[in-house]
C-alpha cells in the first residue's frame, strides 16, 4: 500500500473470539492504514474495518495463531502489527511504529507492552514469556507463520524466535511501550 506521505503503511491484525472489548481494541488502532479483524462466524460491527471470517478450527489451543496467520495473508500494508481483542494500543502507538519502521530495512521489531505483571520485555532477548503478541511488528512479506499447536505464550515466543533471522535487519528491540494487555 503506498501512502502519499511516503511513510510505511501499517496493517493491524486482530484475531477475535468475539469478546465485548473488540470495539475498544479496534478504536485504539484507528491510526493504522488497515485493520484486519479475523474471527469465527458472525463478527461484531466495528466501524470501517475489513472483517474477515475464517473457517472454524477443531483445535481450540491453536485458534489465535491460526487467525493471526489468516489475517497476515489478508494484510496489504508494508508492516504488520498485532493486537489481541482484549488489549489496546497506547495513544499514538501506531504513529510511533510508523515513524520508527519507515525507511528501515526489514526486521522483526519488538516494542514493549504493559501487562498485569509489569512491562515486557524485561531484557532485550527473544525468550519464552519475554515477548507477547502486541509487542511484535514485522514486514508483511517473507515471514514464517505463527506456530500452531502450542500454548499462548509459546505461540508468541515461537513466532518471534522463528522470525528473528527472517529479515536482513534481524531483531530490533525498542523501549517504547505501545500496548496495554487487558486494561481495566
Q: List the chain domain ranges.
A: 10-180
pTM for the model stands at 0.90
Nearest-angstrom CA–CA distance, 64 and 71: 10
Burial class (CB in 10 A: 0-12, 13-18, 19+), 169: middle
Q: Is pLDDT of 164 > 70?
A: yes
pLDDT (average), residues 128-137: 95
pLDDT (average), residues 103-129: 95
Nearest-angstrom CA–CA distance, 55 and 32: 26
Query: Could you tell me if residue 154 is left (phi over 0), alpha (psi between -120 and 50 degrees) or otherwise beta?
Result: alpha
Q: What is the CATH number of domain 10-180?
A: 3.90.550.10
pLDDT number for residue 19: 86
pLDDT number for residue 60: 44
For residue 182, the SS3 value is: coil
pLDDT in tens, 16-35: 888 889 999 999 999 999 99
Q: Is pLDDT of 48 > 80?
A: no
Amino acid at each position: 500500500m503506498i501512502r502519499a506521505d511516503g511513510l510505511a503503511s501499517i496493517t493491524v491484525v486482530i484475531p477475535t473470539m468475539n469478546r465485548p472489548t473488540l470495539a475498544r481494541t479496534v478504536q485504539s488502532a484507528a491510526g493504522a492504514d488497515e485493520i484486519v479483524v479475523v474471527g469465527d462466524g458472525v463478527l461484531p460491527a466495528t466501524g470501517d474495518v475489513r472483517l474477515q471470517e475464517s473457517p472454524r478450527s477443531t483445535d481450540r489451543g491453536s485458534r489465535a495463531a491460526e487467525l493471526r496467520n489468516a489475517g497476515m495473508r489478508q494484510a496489504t500494508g508494508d508492516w504488520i502489527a498485532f493486537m489481541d481483542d482484549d488489549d489496546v494500543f497506547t495513544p499514538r502507538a501506531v504513529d510511533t511504529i510508523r515513524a520508527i519502521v519507515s525507511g528501515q530495512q526489514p526486521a522483526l521489531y519488538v516494542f514493549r507492552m504493559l501487562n498485569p505483571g509489569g512491562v515486557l520485555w524485561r531484557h532485550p532477548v527473544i525468550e519464552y514469556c519475554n515477548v507477547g503478541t502486541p509487542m511484535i511488528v514485522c514486514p508483511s512479506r517473507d515471514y514464517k507463520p505463527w506456530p500452531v499447536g502450542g500454548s499462548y505464550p509459546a505461540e508468541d515466543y515461537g513466532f518471534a524466535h522463528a522470525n528473528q533471522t527472517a529479515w536482513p535487519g534481524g531483531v530490533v528491540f525498542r523501549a517504547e511501550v505501545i500496548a496495554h494487555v487487558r486494561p481495566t
